[in-house]
Chain A
Amino acid sequence: MSANAGAIAVPHLSAVARSEGVWRAAWRRYRGDRVGMVSLAIVLAFLLLILLSATGVVASGWQREVGVAYAPPSFVGPAPPEAIGAIETPKGPNVDLSAVDPLAPRYAEWAERAKQFATAEVKKADTLPFGGDRLGRDVMAKAIKGTEISVFVGVLAALVATTLGTLLGAIGGFFGGKAGDLLEWVYNVFESIPGILLIFAFAAVFGRGIGTVVLILGFTGWTGLYRQVRAEFMKHRSREYVRAAEAIGASLGSRMFRHILPNISHVILVRMGLLVVGFIKAEVILSYLGLGVPVDQVSWGTMLAEAQSELILGHWWQLTAATVMMCLFVTAFSLMADAWRDALDPKLRGVAE
C-alpha cells in the first residue's frame, strides 16, 4: 500500500471489461419477453409506415378520388347498380327541337372546338381494395396518412407532457417546502377542472392546427406524471446515495438529474408510454368533435367523424380501417410499455418463471 495519495501512480491503464450496463441488461431481459418482442415489432412496423408516408413513398395520393363514391372493398364486390326508378320513356315520335332551341346553331361549332382537346375519361373504379369514402378516396391510404398525424401528435404531446411533468415533479419533490406547495396548488387547479373541459378551453384559445393539439394535450396531461415523479423524488432525496453525493459536494442539479433521475427513469418511461396511448385516443376525440386537425389533413379522428354519417348508409369500411389501425397500434404500444416496465424494474430481476 502506498504511503500517501500523492505517491499513487499506476502507470498501466489497462482496458477493463466493463460490466453489462443497466440499459443493456434491461434489453437482455426484454428480449426474453415474447409478447413484448411481438408488440415491439408491430410498433416498429408502424414507425416504418409513418416514415414511408411522411417521405411520400406510400399514401402520398390519399386525396385522389380513385373510386366511385363509397366504393365498397374488393372482397365485398361492386355495389349493385342503383335502380333508377321508372321514369316512363316517351313513346311519341322524335320532335325537332332546333326550331325552339336557341343554342342549336352553335352545336356544330362546339363539337369542332372540343376535338382540339383529348378527353381522358377517368375510369373510376367500382371497388377499391379496402373501400372508398364519400369522395371515392382509398380508405387504406387515408388510414396510413392518418396514422402519421395521430402517432405524431400522440408522441410529441407525450414528450411535452413528460418534460413538463418531470421537471415540475423533480422541483416539487426535491425541494418541497414553499416551491412544493406552489406546484401543488397549480396541480390542484388543473386536476379540479374536468379534463375534457380543460381541453376545450385550451382549444378555444389556441385555434386549430396540429401544433395546437400537441400543446393542448401536453399542457393538460402532465399532472399524473408530475405526481408520480414528485413522489419518487421525495423518496429518493433522503436516500443515502443522494446524501453521499451531497457529502462529496455534488451540486443540486447534479443530484437531481444525474443521481436521482436515472434511478426513476423506468417510472417515467412507462408513464410516457401510457401517455402516448392516451393522447392518441384524445386526439381522436378532439378531431371527432371538430377541434382537432384541420380539414385538409386526415387523422384517425377525422375518419371516425366521417364514418358516423356513412354508417347510416351501411358503408362500414372507413370505420373499420381507422379502428383496426388504431387498435393494433394502441394495443401493441401498451403491451410494449408493460414489457419495458418489467424489463427495467430492478425488483423483478432474474427469477425464473
Chain B
Amino acid sequence: MLLSIRDLKVVFRLGERGAVTLVPAVNGVSFDIPEHTTVALVGESGSGKSVTAMSILNLLPDNAQRSGVVEYEGRDLLRASLPELQMLRGREIACVFQDPMSSLNPVFTVGQQLAEPLRRHMSMSKRAAIERAEALMAEVGIPEPKRRLASYPHELSGGQQQRVMIAMALACEPKLLIADEPTTALDVTIQRQILELIAGLQERHRMSVLFISHDLGVVGEIADHVVVMRQGVVREQGPVARIFQSPLDAYTKALLACRPSLANTGARLPVIDDHIEGKVPTRQAKPKDPSAPVLLQVRSLAKSFFLRDGLFGKREFKAVHGVNFDLRRGHTLGVVGESGSGKTTMGLTLLRLHEPTAGQVLFDGRDLLTLSDHERQTMRRRIQIVFQNPYASLNPRFTIGQTLIEPMTIHGIGADQDERERRARALLAQVGLDESAFGKYPHEFSGGQRQRIAIARCLTLEPEVLVLDEAVSALDVSVQAQVLNLLKDLQDDLGLAYVFISHDLAVVRFLSDEVLVMKDGEVVEQASAQQILAAPTQEYTRRLLGAIPRGYQGAM
C-alpha cells in the first residue's frame, strides 16, 4: 500500500476572535491508494474531497485540525514535521490544482518555474535542469518545447498551462500525483486531452494518481478505484467497474443518473434528492410547436475588436462574423464551441452589451441595432442574459430582494413597492428558493442557488428571449441537472426562447432544438440537434462529440 488513510477527521476553526466555532469538513474517511493505480475521489462541492486530499501533505490553512492516520510508506504524515513534509512535497507526492492560471507565477517564464524544483530537490545543475525541463515539456505534449520554455504563462492557452503544471508535478518523478479537479476549468475537448495525458503518464511512470472530480463521467474513464464522498463521509468505494455497473449507494446511483448524456433524451434529468427518495422525474416535455412565431432573426452579425498595432496602426480581430439564425418562441438555439470561438461575444452582441460591427438583429421584426436609446430600453426588457459565473454576476452588496426589485423599478413594472416585493417573492418560489432568501445576501447561497437568483432577476422583466451564457458550466453535475430542469420547466410554463451557449455538447443536446457550432468566430455547422448528433458533417463537430466524458466504457 503506497498510502493509506484511516479514519481521517478534519475540523476547521472558524469565527472571530473570542467566539470560535468548530466546523467539521471530513468525518472519518478511510481508503487506500495502492501502488500504480488511479484512485478517484468523487463528490459535490463541499463534500470534503479536496480537504481530504490536501490534508495528506498538510496543505490546509492554519485553522484546520486533523486527526486520524495518514500512512505513507509506513510513516504517519499527520505527525511528520514540516521539514519532513517539505522533503516529500513535490518530490514523492506532487499536486496539480484546478486553476492553472492562478497556479503559475506570471512573472517567471515556464522554463524557470519548471527548473526550480529540479534544482532544489534533485540538486541538478542549471544546464541539466533546463534540459530536463525541455524533456518534460515534450513529454506532456507541448509543441516546440524549447521555444516554449522561454514563454510566460499568459502566452499559453489554458490547456497548455495545465500541461505545464503536470510537467512540473512530474519533474521529480513522484510516486503519487494528487490531481485536484485538474480539468474542471477547461473545455471538454481540452479535458479529454488532459485526461488522456494523465492516464498515459500514470502508465509510463508507474505512479499512483489520486484524481479528484465532481463528475463521475470523467472519473469513469481514468480511475481504477472510485471513492464517493458526500458531506465529509465516504458513501461508497470500490473498483470502477463495480461502481458503474452495480452501484450500491443511492447517492452514487443518483450521481450516475444526473449527468446529461447524448443517449438520454428524457424530458427531465433525475436530480439527487429525487433519486434518493426513489422518485422518477415524471414531467413530460411539452411538444414544440414548429410554427411558433419567429422572435429573433439574426442576419450576418459581425463583431470585430481593433487591437493597437505599433504606434498608430490598428489590427482588426474578427471575434464573430457571418452569424445567421432564426429563433422561434418556446424554442432553444444551442451554441457550441471551444473557448475563444466567439460564442460569448455573439451572445453579448445580441443584447448590445457589445456594439456589433455589422449585421442585423431583428426582434419581432424590428432591428435592435438601429433603435434609439429610449426604444432600446423597452426592448431590453424582452431579451435578458444569464452569465456564466454565479459568484460574479450578483452584486455582493445588494440583498436578494434589492437585486430582484431593482429591474422592476427601472422599468416601472408593478404599481408600487409592495406589489414589486410580492412579485419578487413569487418569482423566488418559482425558481425553487424559499421565502427566507429575500433578505439575504448573495454570499449566503451556493453556486446553484445563485444561478437560480440570476434567472429570477431576468424573469422579473418578463422577457421573451433569454441568453444563457455558459449558465451551467461552473456548476457541479448534480446542481447542473437541477438548473437544467428548472430551465426546461420555465420554458414550458412561460414559452421562453433560449439562446443556450456552452462548450459541452451533451448539455446543449439536452436543451436545444437547433445547434450552431462555432469555431474561430465562424459558424461551421448549423443543424437540428438530432442531426448534429446523428450525422455531424464537420470534423470539428465530431471532435466535440468525441470529447464528452462517457463514464466507464466497460459498462456500456
Residues of B near A32 (CB, < 8 A) are: 16-18
3 nearest A-B pairs in the assembled complex, by CB-CB distance: A18-B439, A248-B407, A240-B393
Count: A-B pairs, CB below 8 Å: 127
Residues of B near A351 (CB, < 8 A) are: 14, 61, 63
A8 near B395: Cβ-Cβ < 8 Å: no
A18 near B392: Cβ-Cβ < 8 Å: no
B399 near A18: Cβ-Cβ < 8 Å: yes
A241 near B393: Cβ-Cβ < 8 Å: yes
A residues in contact (CB < 8 Å) with B: 1-5, 8-10, 13-14, 16-19, 21-22, 28-29, 32-34, 239-241, 243-251, 254, 259, 262-263, 346, 350-353
B491 interface residue, CB < 8 Å from A? no
A8 near B441: Cβ-Cβ < 8 Å: no
Of A16, A21, A263, A350, which is within 8 A of B395 by CB? A263
B438 interface residue, CB < 8 Å from A? yes
**Least CB separation from A241: chain B residue:** B395
Expressed in whole angstroms, the Cα–Cα distance for A5 and B426 within the complex equals 9
Known contacts: A19-B399, A244-B385, A250-B406. The answer to whether A8 contacts B423 by CB under 8 A is yes
Shortest CB-to-CB span from A212 to chain B, Å, is 38
B16 near A29: Cβ-Cβ < 8 Å: yes
A249 near B407: Cβ-Cβ < 8 Å: yes
Of B423, B430, B436, B494, which is within 8 A of A16 by CB? B436
Query: Would you list which residues of chain B between 385 and 408 have a CB under 8 Å from chain A?
Result: 385, 387-389, 392-397, 399, 406-407
Residues of B near A18 (CB, < 8 A) are: 399, 439-440
B493 near A4: Cβ-Cβ < 8 Å: yes
B384 near A350: Cβ-Cβ < 8 Å: no
Query: Would you list which residues of chain B between 27 and 67 have a CB under 8 Å from chain A?
Result: 61, 63
Shortest CB-to-CB span from A322 to chain B, Å, is 36
Known contacts: A245-B395, A351-B63, A352-B63. The answer to whether A2 contacts B407 by CB under 8 A is no
B210 interface residue, CB < 8 Å from A? no
B454 interface residue, CB < 8 Å from A? yes
Can you give 5 A-B contacts (C-beta < 8 A)?
A4-B493, A18-B439, A19-B441, A241-B396, A243-B387
Shortest CB-to-CB span from B460 to chain A, Å, is 8
Query: Would you list which residues of chain B between 360 and 390 have a CB under 8 Å from chain A?
Result: 377, 380-381, 384-385, 387-389
Of B14, B381, B459, which is within 8 A of A350 by CB? B14
Residues of B near A263 (CB, < 8 A) are: 395-397
Residues of A near B407 (CB, < 8 A) are: 248-250
B15 near A16: Cβ-Cβ < 8 Å: no
Of B426, B444, B494, which is within 8 A of A10 by CB? B426
B438 near A247: Cβ-Cβ < 8 Å: no
Of B15, B17, B493, which is within 8 A of A3 by CB? B493
Expressed in whole angstroms, the Cα–Cα distance for A250 and B409 within the complex equals 10
A248 near B353: Cβ-Cβ < 8 Å: no
Expressed in whole angstroms, the Cα–Cα distance for A2 and B394 within the complex equals 26
Expressed in whole angstroms, the Cα–Cα distance for A122 and B429 within the complex equals 83
* Other 5 A-B pairs with CB < 8 A, given A5-B459, A17-B436, A243-B353: A2-B430, A13-B425, A244-B385, A248-B457, A251-B410
**Interface residues as binary, B438-461 with A (CB distance below 8 Å gives 1, 0 otherwise):** 111101100000000010011111
**Least CB separation from B469: chain A residue:** A240
A249 near B493: Cβ-Cβ < 8 Å: no
Residues of B near A249 (CB, < 8 A) are: 377, 380-381, 407, 410-411
B427 near A259: Cβ-Cβ < 8 Å: no
B476 interface residue, CB < 8 Å from A? no
B430 near A1: Cβ-Cβ < 8 Å: yes
B410 near A248: Cβ-Cβ < 8 Å: yes
A10 near B425: Cβ-Cβ < 8 Å: yes
B461 near A248: Cβ-Cβ < 8 Å: yes
Expressed in whole angstroms, the Cα–Cα distance for A29 and B19 within the complex equals 11
Known contacts: A5-B459, A13-B421. The answer to whether A240 contacts B387 by CB under 8 A is yes
**Interface residues as binary, B335-359 with A (CB distance below 8 Å gives 1, 0 otherwise):** 0000000000000100101000000
Residues of B near A240 (CB, < 8 A) are: 387-389, 392-393
B309 interface residue, CB < 8 Å from A? no
B13 interface residue, CB < 8 Å from A? yes
Expressed in whole angstroms, the Cα–Cα distance for A22 and B15 within the complex equals 16
B418 interface residue, CB < 8 Å from A? yes
Most buried by B among A4, A5, A21: A5
B15 near A247: Cβ-Cβ < 8 Å: no
**Least CB separation from A261: chain B residue:** B397
Residues of B near A239 (CB, < 8 A) are: 392
B422 interface residue, CB < 8 Å from A? yes
Residues of A near B427 (CB, < 8 A) are: 8
A10 near B422: Cβ-Cβ < 8 Å: yes
Expressed in whole angstroms, the Cα–Cα distance for A32 and B459 within the complex equals 41
B326 interface residue, CB < 8 Å from A? no
Residues of B near A10 (CB, < 8 A) are: 422, 425-426, 429
Residues of A near B20 (CB, < 8 A) are: 352
B439 near A248: Cβ-Cβ < 8 Å: no
Residues of B near A2 (CB, < 8 A) are: 426, 430, 493
Of B14, B377, B384, B387, which is within 8 A of A352 by CB? B14
Known contacts: A5-B494, A248-B410. The answer to whether A241 contacts B385 by CB under 8 A is no
Residues of B near A21 (CB, < 8 A) are: 399, 441
Shortest CB-to-CB span from B46 to chain A, Å, is 16
Shortest CB-to-CB span from A35 to chain B, Å, is 11
Of B385, B443, B457, B462, which is within 8 A of A5 by CB? B462
Shortest CB-to-CB span from A290 to chain B, Å, is 46
Expressed in whole angstroms, the Cα–Cα distance for A1 and B61 within the complex equals 44
Expressed in whole angstroms, the Cα–Cα distance for A32 and B19 within the complex equals 9
Most buried by A among B397, B411, B427, B457: B397
Expressed in whole angstroms, the Cα–Cα distance for A255 and B349 within the complex equals 20
**Least CB separation from B348: chain A residue:** A243
Shortest CB-to-CB span from A157 to chain B, Å, is 28
Residues of A near B458 (CB, < 8 A) are: 248
Expressed in whole angstroms, the Cα–Cα distance for A263 and B353 within the complex equals 22
Expressed in whole angstroms, the Cα–Cα distance for A239 and B351 within the complex equals 16
**Least CB separation from A15: chain B residue:** B439
A352 near B15: Cβ-Cβ < 8 Å: yes
Expressed in whole angstroms, the Cα–Cα distance for A13 and B493 within the complex equals 25
Residues of A near B441 (CB, < 8 A) are: 19, 21-22
Shortest CB-to-CB span from A37 to chain B, Å, is 11
Residues of A near B15 (CB, < 8 A) are: 350, 352
Residues of B near A4 (CB, < 8 A) are: 493-494
**Least CB separation from A262: chain B residue:** B397
Expressed in whole angstroms, the Cα–Cα distance for A333 and B105 within the complex equals 37
Expressed in whole angstroms, the Cα–Cα distance for A262 and B348 within the complex equals 26
Shortest CB-to-CB span from A18 to chain B, Å, is 4
Residues of A near B351 (CB, < 8 A) are: 247
Query: Would you list which residues of chain B between 230 and 254 have a CB under 8 Å from chain A?
Result: none
B16 near A259: Cβ-Cβ < 8 Å: no
Shortest CB-to-CB span from B401 to chain A, Å, is 8
Residues of A near B131 (CB, < 8 A) are: none
